[in-house]
Amino acid sequence: MTTKQVTRSTFDEVMVPTYSPSQIVPVRGEGSRVWDQEGREYVDFAGGIAVTALGHCHPVMVKALTEQANKIWHLSNVMTNEPALRLASKLTDATFAERVFFANSGAEANEAAFKLARKYAYDNFGPEKNEIIAFTNSFHGRTLFTVSVGGQPKYRIGFEPAPGGITHVPFNDIEALKAVISERTCAVVMEPIQGEGGILPATAEFAKAVRELCDQHNALLVFDEVQSGMGRSGSLFAYMEIGVTPDILSSAKSLGGGFPIGAMLTTNKVAASFGFGSHGSTYGGNALACAVAESVLDEINRPSVLEGVKRKHALFREALEAINAKYHIFKEIRGMGLLIGAELVEPYASNAKAFIGAGAEEGVMILTASTNTLRFAPSLVIPEEDIKEGMARLEKAIAKMVSQ
Ligand SMILES: *Cc1c(COP(=O)(O)O)cnc(C)c1O
């Protein structure tokens, strides 16, 4: 079989139209710079949507991947493997958790989390305790259970009937949660920083009150840290930054630094409800994925890198404020660490997506969150020169947008 030349237009011929990707087709990356098929170079502020936490092709990841690739790739869950055991040991050493379940994505880590919360309540309190409370605008993935727990109906409409026993209340509104939580609640699920919803951090006060309400009603607190975790907040996980510890935590995105992996972390007590045969995944805990994630965790979980995230947050914020002082385009700049949102004022707020294309034309890759917010989720080790250069390019893009 001969291989034909592929271009962006091939996408429209052979892919299911679930995405509408950029006209750029990147072919190579190094650190926070990316090159496309035409040889044009970009500064990467998108990080593959908060995934490439060490930038592109970081030497420690390349080493871990190639070394493991020459040893053994896959064994299935009939046998365990050294990278999975090492990664699980390091994750439990570094967090509240005592047990780990590996999956391949954020949605799968959450699917495991929600199933475990149900099973724990079933085992300990009976089948009536099955209700899950989640928050408006939250995002937890695209499987049927995770779009149902997620608080954005647009991802659910057309796929019903959806799983039942799920209630949504407004985020950062403790009275709303108080009004619906009961002895039937098995779990409250939240993102410490809502990512897709628009980079909206939970207040520490809210998170503490949620924890207390969960304890009063024997409900588990599930933190979806798929986007906020693995150093992005400036702590290894955002729960550490907020000072509220969950019972179950899901991680993915930056955990693999670009290699697919997800993990669900929990305590001994809760993990006991995931007994032999109760859940599983063929690829979950794959040796290649775990070897890469181990190298990512080793690299990120160091004071110098985590302090760097906080310093770079300040650089991003200063640069965005300087742009705003000139163009008056942002209503609010918010977020934690290197997960930053800049909400646009009208008339730009309804067209945040246009800034992605405008940025690309000037050589900077950015993201949006919700419909009205520019999102920055770059490599946690992005060089300061790249922040400066990317911001100069972003300013050019914004100047063009404003003059239109
Ligand atoms: C991206 C994301 C997910 C889904 O992760 P996938 O790997 O795409 O399945 C779940 N929760 C949050 C908070 C996310 O940002």
Average pLDDT over residues 56-68: 98
Residue 23 marked in a binding site: no
Average pLDDT over residues 33-41: 98
pLDDT band at 2 (very low <50, low <70, confident <90, very high): confident
Residue 191 CA: nearest ligand 1 atom is 13
Domain residue limits, the chain = 8-57+303-403, 72-300
CA of 334 to the centre of ligand 1 (A): 20
333 backbone dihedrals φ, ψ, rounded to 5°: -115, 125
Say what the pLDDT of residue 191 is. Answer: 98
Fold of 8-57+303-403: Aspartate Aminotransferase, domain 1 (3.90.1150)
The 8 Å CB, 24+ separation contacts for 318-327 are 319/387, 319/388, 319/391, 320/391, 323/391, 323/394, 323/395, 323/398, 326/395, 327/398, 327/399, 327/402
pLDDT higher than threshold 90 for residue 260: yes
CA of 229 to the centre of ligand 1 (A): 11
Q: Is 48 in the pocket of ligand 1 (CB under 6 A)?
A: no
Average pLDDT score over the chain: 97
pLDDT band at 167 (very low <50, low <70, confident <90, very high): very high
Neighbours of 115 (CB within 10 A): 16
Query: Six-digit token pair at 210?
Result: 């949620």
pLDDT band at 102 (very low <50, low <70, confident <90, very high): very high
CATH of domain 72-300: 3.40.640.10
CA 85-90-94 angle, 5° bins: 150
Indicate the angle between helix axes 287-300 and 82-94, nearest 10 degrees.
Answer: 30
CB 214 within 8 A of CB 188: yes
Say what the pLDDT of residue 1 is. Answer: 66
CA of 227 to the centre of ligand 1 (A): 7
Taking only the tens place, the pLDDT of each residue in 289-323 is 999 999 999 999 999 999 999 999 999 999 999 99
CA of 324 to the centre of ligand 1 (A): 30
Neighbours of 137 (CB within 10 A): 17
Residue 262 CA: nearest ligand 1 atom is 7
CA 315/CA 336 separation, integer angstroms: 12
CA of 255 to the centre of ligand 1 (A): 12
> Which amino acid belongs to residue 7?
T
Residue partners of 43: CB distance under 8 A and separation at least 6: 32, 33, 363, 364, 365, 386, 389, 390, 393
Q: Is 134 in the pocket of ligand 1 (CB under 6 A)?
A: no
Give the count of alpha carbons within 13 A of 219, CB side only: 30
Residue 253 CA: nearest ligand 1 atom is 7
Taking only the tens place, the pLDDT of each residue in 193-213 is 999 999 999 999 999 999 999
Q: Is 105 in the pocket of ligand 1 (CB under 6 A)?
A: yes
pLDDT band at 4 (very low <50, low <70, confident <90, very high): confident
Q: Is 134 helix (H, G, I), strand (E, B) or coil?
A: strand
pLDDT band at 154 (very low <50, low <70, confident <90, very high): very high
